[in-house]
Amino acid sequence: MKRLFLFLLATSLSVATFAQTKWTVDPMHSFVNFSVKHSGISFVDGNFKKFEGGFVSSKADLSDAKISFTADAASINTGVEQRDGHLKSDDFFNAEKFPKLAFESTSFKKVKGNNYALTGKLTIRDVTKTVTFAVVYGGTAKDQQGNTKAGFLATTKINRLDFNVKYDPTGAGIAKDVNITLNLQFAQAK
């Protein structure tokens, strides 16, 4: 009987140790930002107001994390209504035909310390390309309600022409390269 109890205890601990943990993005403490050079002399910053995502992982260092994320194209915001309307048009995102920007990870590799390389498939409009984000893992903490939260900063640069965002193809007025910065906080599922 004692052996059976020890076997069941060991099995339970094994399953608990390797069980996948689910995390969901906390939109109240997360930001999806971009920046693009304008007229070759300044930058236009913007963000997406509506997004969702999450990840699952069974390893403490998160190196096996499977991450998915979407942003609502119609929620784009640069602080100028006329420009936001233009960005939602077919010249840029065509938010009506392609309502979501999506990312699915293919790997999340620890580089050193709290630095990771997140590689995956980014879909904008009707194009999917492999991109890599440089990620800094900020760690985890409990909030005042006892919920476990995890924080990340992820950055990458893409060429918008690669995703059929072809307005001003010369890049003279609106640069080809777009810097993306994600400040994300995730809540662990209970």
Which distant-in-sequence residues (6+ apart) come within 8 Å of 185 by Cβ?
25, 26, 29, 30, 149, 150, 151, 152
CA distance 7 to 58: 22
Domains of the chain: 20-188 (2.40.128.110)
Say what the pLDDT of residue 12 is: 39
pLDDT tens profile 175-184: 999 999 999 9
Task: Give the helix/strand (H/E) hosting 43.
Answer: strand 42-48
pTM to 2 decimal places: 0.87
Q: How is residue 20 annotated by DSSP?
A: P
- Parts of the chain with a pLDDT under 50: 1-18
What single letter denotes the amino acid at residue 81? E
Say what the pLDDT of residue 1 is: 46
Which has the closest alpha carbon to 22: 80, 78, 82, 62?
Answer: 62
Backbone angles phi, psi at 133, to 5 degrees: -100, 140
Say what the pLDDT of residue 62 is: 87
Say what the pLDDT of residue 20 is: 86
Say what the pLDDT of residue 190 is: 83
In terms of DSSP bridges, do strands 100-112 and 76-77 run parallel, antiparallel, or are they unpaired?
A: unpaired
What single letter denotes the amino acid at residue 45? D
